[in-house]
Amino acid sequence: MSDIASRFAELPVSDALARLRAALADGPHAVLAAPPGAGKTTLVPLVLAEEAWLKGKIVLIEPRRLAARAAARRMAAMLGEEVGGSVGYRMRLDTKVSARTRIEVVTEGVFTRMALSSPDLEGIDCVIFDEFHERALEADFGLALALDIQSGLREDLRILVMSATLDTDRVAALLEGSPVIESLGRSFPVEIRHLDRPPGERIEVSMTSAIEAIHRSESGSILAFLPGQGEIRQVASRLETRLDPLTDIQPLYGGLSSQEQDAAIKPAPAGRRKVVLATPVAESSITIDGVRIVIDSGLVRQPVYEPSTGITRLETIKGSQASADQRAGRAGRTEPGIAVRMWRAEQTKALPAFSTPQVLASDLSAMVLDCLAWGVRDPSELRFIDPPPGAAISEARLLLENLGAIDAEGGLTCRGKRMRALALPPRLASMVVSGQEDGHGYEAAELAVLLTEQGLGGQDADLETRLSRFRSDRSPRATSARALASRLAGGERSRSGACTAASLLVHAFPDRIARQRGARGRFVLANGRGAMIDETDRLAGADFLVIADMSGKAQAARILAAAELSGEVLDEVLETRGEQSEDCVFDAQSGAVRARRISRLGAIILAETPLPKPDDAAAMQVLCAAIRKIGLKALPFSASGLQLRDRIGFLHKNLGAPWPDVSDEALLQGLETWFAPYQPGVTSLKAINRDGLYEGLLSLCGPGARSEIAQLTPSHYEAPTGSRVPIRYDEGSPVVAIRVQELFGETRHPAIAGGRMPLTLELLSPAQRPIQTTRDLPGFWAGSWADVRAEMRGRYPRHPWPENPAEAAPTHRAKPRGT
């Protein structure tokens, strides 16, 4: 056993160290599964640093800055050193490393930059991915890069994947069947309790009650998990007057400064207790001394990317079983603990086993840009546990092309190389590059840092206000952020006049330029989406905004960060992105197509000018669309036109091809074929020509159809009296409604289609009322006629009712008076 391992043999992970050391001595990969509190984050790197194969550094990758700092400090303390000696850390706004550093703790994004800037990871012999179960996009991509480096350039590179709750089989398969080492020990037992949260009760109310109750009945500090900052602030406010004065209430989330986060994880002073209200930032890799009670809301706020709008929104959902296990494990880090879950015990099995990997639901534009810089055009060429979705990759390429980062063939442009060199999302990187070109590189970098560092400059939606606060903020975090902005800008300050946040943001978010809808606080974006802001907010009265951040679904998105766009800047945008077109629209009130000249920015209509006459082709296209929306009732068919449609429909139903389908759906779908060519110059519903409708229907049947239709489905039946009686084809069979006297003398049943299709006869009285329906006239004469005759002759005595109608003369007249 190594010296460091023997000194900390009480840590549960110690039982797995010998197997882990052997695995990495014999091969390049290993997977370590150890429960929360086992000590894997701190003891494993220290032990591996003593291995003979390690000549350079170990890089330990943590999902969050808080965890990275805490891990580095703990390891340094275990060695009796300060951070920055043998153990250091590197992150976006804070770095403590030296020439002596052999274990470097970094965040996931930092490792990606390290790999891209040094494709052989020179000086690094071991890469450890900690808490890999969270499946952050940067972690998946970082592992794919590490595997690519190992297979192509560094066969000696060791890769270790660790977690307390991990799908070990899938990870081991990705690592080509690497050994899986499990550590089953736990320092202290954790009692799991459940609370049945009342349906419909807000989580802030339920959590406050749960904390109050267990604070009274149990000793020790409490760690409560909530989905976000808003809920944390509300619970903190509620608890201020409900807990005793010896209990400190401490928020813990990503938007706090490193000093505030560090204060949250320090033990409570002697004689005091602590209630830490945390987001998942405290879920793994850190120990909060004195905490023996965990209360889990069971909720997480997960980013969901919408490719159609290019917007990532936050959605509150139930957490996974892995997340619940991680949170419960926080209670048993330093002594026996209690984990309270705010759901019924049986509901745990219904939770997903693991969280959805971010690679399946994220904006992939930054990863695609990095892949191009890596020399890989298709991310699927790299080894991912879950391959990135093709649709998301296509959307990422489209965005990068619009930003000028890649060319039409998908290759990296000079601008794209400059963007990739900046540790920023592509939109903000594009803004900084454009700012540098305009002489405002520092201001653009300053705004980019503000947007990527949560809480910097406050929470105000107006970015000008936040920028002003940020510039006057002298805190260590703000000072580090300004230094980062200077590095991103290449050390350059503004070379020209003042600029506004909006004039910078249009380079990053041209699709999120928004115009007020006419109601205060309601906006429509250039990408067609709707957004809103409180009516009392200063930005609510702006005519135009550029929106940098918003949340929510569909047309109810809430604006979180934006800047007011001046008319001068809007004019500059319109010069390059504005469009002018002549358009046609259907006026439902008049039923006519109107022409207009439109000035627009995406989906935002800036101005409309009426035109005297629409283009015929464009007008017909709009008219067809309107008819589809209204339905066939919009077409003024004549009686003959309606009958023709019924006749064609009858032939289609009974004979099939080549007779066409003339149902509502078929006719509406084919308007451009049978309607438009027979309505030249028509631009309104009132002007539709009825004869054109008839001829259009006839055209569907092909040449020579007129005579064939007349032969197979005549429009009229010629009665023995010489009367021409219309034939109906609207009931599935041909129907003739005729007075019975006009059929006297008819010994055969009338038929059409060469005698193949009998007519259905609706026999009428002299008063045109139905007497009987038949498809067998001779049978009627010989059968039920006698009963009809007996009834009718008394009712209509002036009309003939012969005993043998088959031999009587047909008539449509009454008998002469006196006969």
What span, in angstroms and rounded, lies between the C-alpha atoms of 7 and 43? 10
HSE-CB at 293 with a 13 A cutoff on CA atoms is: 23
638 in Cβ contact with 694 (< 8 Å): yes
For the segment 640-658, the average pLDDT, to the nearest whole number, is 89
Domains of the chain in start order, with CATH, are 3-182 (3.40.50.300), 190-360 (3.40.50.300), 422-577 (no CATH), 581-713 (no CATH), 722-807 (no CATH)
Whether pLDDT at 715 is above 70: yes
For the segment 204-233, the average pLDDT, to the nearest whole number, is 92
Model pLDDT, residue 206: 93
For the segment 647-673, the average pLDDT, to the nearest whole number, is 91
Which band of pLDDT confidence, cut at 50, 70 and 90, is reported for residue 310? low
User: Over the stretch 127-177, which tens digit does the pLDDT of each residue have?
Assistant: 999 988 888 899 999 999 999 999 988 999 999 999 877 778 889 899 988
Complete DSSP assignment for 130-182: -SGGG--HHHHHHHHHHHHHHHHT-TT-EEEEEESS--HHHHHHHTTS--EEE
Question: Lowest mean pLDDT: which of 21-25, 95-99, 300-304, 361-365?
Answer: 300-304
Whether pLDDT at 554 is above 60: no
Nearest to 475 by CA among 287, 255, 210: 255
Model pLDDT, residue 186: 64
146 in Cβ contact with 177 (< 8 Å): no
Burial 356-379 (b: 16+ CB within 10 A, else e): ebbbbbbbbbbbbbbbbbbebbeb
Beta partners for 412?
406
Question: Lowest mean pLDDT: which of 22-26, 263-267, 636-640?
Answer: 263-267
**Which residues does 550 contact at the CB level (< 8 Å), separation at least 6?**
311, 313, 531, 557, 558, 559, 560, 561
215 in Cβ contact with 239 (< 8 Å): no
532 in Cβ contact with 545 (< 8 Å): no
Which band of pLDDT confidence, cut at 50, 70 and 90, is reported for residue 729? confident
Model pLDDT, residue 48: 95
52 in Cβ contact with 59 (< 8 Å): no
Which band of pLDDT confidence, cut at 50, 70 and 90, is reported for residue 1? very low
User: Over the stretch 479-511, which tens digit does the pLDDT of each residue have?
Assistant: 999 999 999 988 766 555 678 999 999 999 988
Nearest to 318 by CA among 282, 344, 284: 344
Nearest to 170 by CA among 219, 136, 133, 138: 133
User: Over the stretch 259-269, which tens digit does the pLDDT of each residue have?
Assistant: 888 888 888 88
- The residue assigned the tokens 């998990």 is 225
Whether pLDDT at 187 is above 80: no
Q: Read off the pTM.
A: 0.73
Instruction: Say what percent of the chain tops pLDDT 90.
Output: 57
What are the start-end ranges of the H helices in 592-704? 616-630, 639-655, 664-669, 671-674, 690-699
Which band of pLDDT confidence, cut at 50, 70 and 90, is reported for residue 819? low
User: Over the stretch 736-768, which tens digit does the pLDDT of each residue have?
Assistant: 999 999 999 999 999 987 788 899 999 999 989
Q: What is the CA radius of gyration of the chain?
A: 40
- 274 phi and psi, to 5 degrees? -135, 140
For the segment 588-601, the average pLDDT, to the nearest whole number, is 89
What span, in angstroms and rounded, lies between the C-alpha atoms of 189 and 312? 40
Model pLDDT, residue 361: 84
HSE-CB at 402 with a 13 A cutoff on CA atoms is: 17
User: Over the stretch 267-294, which tens digit does the pLDDT of each residue have?
Assistant: 888 889 999 999 887 776 677 778 899 9
Which band of pLDDT confidence, cut at 50, 70 and 90, is reported for residue 2? low
Model pLDDT, residue 305: 74
